[in-house]
Amino acid sequence: MEKEDIRNAIQTLIDDSPPRNFTQSFDLVVTLKDVDLNDPDDQVDAYLALPHDTGDETRFAALVGPELEDDVDDIVDTVVARQDFDEYAENSRQAKNLAKNHDFFLAQADVMPDVATTFGRFLGPRDKMPNPQLGTVINPGTDVESLCDRLTRTIHLKGKKDPVVQIKVGDESMDEDHITDNLLASYDELLDNLAKERNNIKDAYLKLTMSQPIEVL
């Protein structure tokens, strides 16, 4: 995958796209081959902090005990204190809205059992449960501001049910070089998560939200 080919594809998509009343996303769409998605070893499930954010607004919630309430209050959008968990347990609509309206959930490590009990059925299906792999299970002393900055640039590479991985790498408002950097970083990380690397890739396309795809591999 060459930088020049990607830049040409970006420019072609921009030139050929009629004006829309919203900002379109650039998506990398990769089709896999010779993978058995019934075998966990062949599934794609990885997180990557991109070089640049993708233009999305990212909202954070923190589920914490009293030790961390003050530390996170000025950084995240919503703080749910441990003493308020019962309120959400008794009000499923409130819990659903919390899950729907935030992109990432941070949780204090020693309250994780209560987080799982109270919020697991709302966060789990949305892939938003606090996750040590992602760094969202936190302790006193965690640099929450740096963590949130990284998460703003973090994407989830996922291919478990279908042999297709689709990744947002930017939008029309972004510099073309930043879109290119994000695309190449995403592609390299995907290769690292495939058993046969390039030999598990059938093809790769770049597209805008409302456009036809352009092959980049």
Per-residue model confidence as pLDDT tens digits over 116-157: 999 999 999 999 999 998 999 999 999 999 999 999 999 999
Euclidean distance between CA atoms 141 and 116, whole angstroms = 23
Per DSSP, which regions of the chain are E strands? Answer: 25-32, 44-49, 60-64, 78-81, 104-108, 137-138, 154-159, 164-171, 201-208, 214-215
Q: Which fold has domain 60-152?
A: Rossmann fold (3.40.50)
Domain residue ranges in the chain: 3-54+154-215, 60-152
Residue with tokens 């000025």: 74
- Report the pLDDT value the prediction gives residue 43, as an integer from 0 to 100: 94
Instruction: Indicate if the pLDDT at residue 14 is higher than 90.
Output: yes
List pLDDT tens digits, range 38-86. Answer: 999 899 999 999 999 998 899 999 999 999 999 999 999 999 999 999 9
Euclidean distance between CA atoms 173 and 184, whole angstroms = 19
- Report the pLDDT value the prediction gives residue 123, as an integer from 0 to 100: 98
List pLDDT tens digits, range 155-164. Answer: 999 999 999 9
pLDDT over 90 for what percent of the chain? Answer: 97
Residue with tokens 């029309």: 172
DSSP states of 149-206: HHHHTEEEEEESSSSEEEEEEEETTS-HHHHHHHHHHHHHHHHHTSTTGGGGEEEEEE
Q: What value does the mean pLDDT of the chain take?
A: 95
| pTM: predicted TM-score of the whole model, two decimal places | 0.88
- The stretch 202-215 carries a mean pLDDT of 96
Q: Which one-letter DSSP state was computed for residue 18?
A: P
CB burial of residue 78 (10 Å; 0-12, 13-18, 19+): middle
- The stretch 21-37 carries a mean pLDDT of 96
Instruction: Indicate if the pLDDT at residue 2 is higher than 90.
Output: no
- Report the pLDDT value the prediction gives residue 159, as an integer from 0 to 100: 93
Instruction: Indicate if the pLDDT at residue 217 is higher than 90.
Output: no
Residue 79 amino acid letter: V
pLDDT over 70 for what percent of the chain? Answer: 100
Go through 36-56 and write b for each residue having 16 or more CB atoms within 10 A of its CB, e for each that does not. eeeeeebbbebbbbbebbbbe
- Report the pLDDT value the prediction gives residue 1, as an integer from 0 to 100: 80
Same fold, 3-54+154-215 and 60-152: no
Q: Which fold has domain 3-54+154-215?
A: Ribulose 1,5 Bisphosphate Carboxylase/Oxygenase (3.30.190)
Q: 114 is written with which tokens?
A: 């209560």
Asked if 33 and 163 touch (Cβ cutoff 8 Å), the reply is yes
Q: 98 is written with which tokens?
A: 């919390």
Residue (of 1, 29, 3, 6) closest to 209 by Cα position: 29
